[in-house]
Amino acid sequence: MELFLNVLIGGLLIGAIYSLVSMGLSLQYGVAKVFNIAHGEFLMIGAFITFALQQIGVNPLLTIVVIAPVMFIVGFILYRTIFTGIRVKSPNPGVFESNGMLAAFGLYFIVQNIAVLIWGSTPKSYLFLNTGINIGGALFIENRIVAAVFAVAIGIIFYLFLASTRTGKAIRAAAQDPATAGLMGVNINFVLALCFGFGAAMAGTAGVLISICYPILTTMGLGYTVIATVVITLGGLGSIPGSFIGGFILGIIGTGVAYWQPGLAVASYYVIFIILLLVRPKGLMGNQ
């Protein structure tokens, strides 16, 4: 029973962060059609900036106020400078997806190299809210719970934004059919860049939340990109609620496997991915 609670609550806590990372990738791939391998790098940069600010005495949770807008602007500019160009030059959407992905890999190498040059490759960590909380006999550290609450809150706020504002509507229209949305008067290049920017902002925020819970590494980004890829396939491409729920599911599975065999957690994600592609490639809530 205690083990069960440990896995369930532990899985939900890490799952909340997975959800946030995956919603970001879902916007970038599901809507903006860029399979952004560098997604995890935005997360890593967010985590390391938080670490740097924490060292000079800034409360890590406050750094979200800075990191989210900065990441948004960076993502927006990147889309407008690189990916819009590729999109316009590509003869069909398939070519854009392939070339966009390769360009994202280039971005990944660039960011990775710069980060290693600045921060090296040793793990870094700091202490923040590290008192234990007892839930039904299972012990959890306070900072994980704070991080999960923040992740869920940001997810819900973003969902409300999508569901109830005019820009949100434009994003949902672009997700369904960019060409038609463009004909209906949606400024498609702007909306797609907006999505890419939001995705980067979410990754950056997730990075902040990860840095308050776990030791951080300059090479950790790719692992989160892999997780987010599995989650968006699980939830259905382009489905924001799907990614949100998928994150929790993967969190629980990953925590369970890690309890049993720590070396196989990543392999288990990949097995889930294979099964999904074989049985239900459109995911839980996808409609493509």
Where do contacts with another protein occur on this chain (CB under 8 A)?
35, 82, 85-86, 89-90, 94-95, 97-99, 101-103, 105-110, 112-114, 117, 226, 229, 233, 261, 263-264, 266-267, 270, 273-274, 277-278, 281
Task: For residue 171, count other CB atoms closer than 10 A to its CB.
Answer: 23
CB of 237 to another protein, least distance (A): 9
CB of 44 to another protein, least distance (A): 14
CB of 249 to another protein, least distance (A): 18
Query: Which of 156, 274 has the CB closer to another protein?
Result: 274
- The per-residue DSSP string of 159-217 comes to HHHHHHSHHHHHHHHHHH-HHHHHHTT--HHHHHHHHHHHHHHHHHHHHHHHHHHS-B-
Of the candidates 44, 127, 36, the one whose C-alpha atom is nearest the C-alpha of residue 86 is 36
3-state helix, strand, coil in the chain (%, to 5): 80, 5, 20
Identify the residue whose tokens are 């860049």: 193
Query: Which of 107, 249 has the CB closer to another protein?
Result: 107
Query: Which of 62, 277 has the CB closer to another protein?
Result: 277
Query: Which of 60, 256 has the CB closer to another protein?
Result: 256
CB of 37 to another protein, least distance (A): 8
Query: Which of 147, 193 has the CB closer to another protein?
Result: 193
CB of 2 to another protein, least distance (A): 25
Alpha-carbon separation of residue 110 from 32, 105, 158, 205, 218 (angstroms): 21, 9, 29, 21, 12
Going through the chain in order, the beta strands assigned E by DSSP cover 132-135, 138-141
CA distance 39 to 226: 10
CB of 39 to another protein, least distance (A): 13
CB of 94 to another protein, least distance (A): 5
Query: Which of 114, 183 has the CB closer to another protein?
Result: 114
Q: Are strands 132-135 and 138-141 parallel, antiparallel or unpaired?
A: antiparallel
CB of 79 to another protein, least distance (A): 13
Q: Which two tokens stand for residue 57?
A: 């005495």
Q: Which two tokens stand for residue 98?
A: 């392939």
Query: Which of 135, 267 has the CB closer to another protein?
Result: 267
Query: Which of 91, 137 has the CB closer to another protein?
Result: 91
Where b means 16+ CB within 10 Å and e means fewer, 206-243 reads bbbbbbbbbebbbebbbbbbbbbbbbbbbbbbbbbbbb
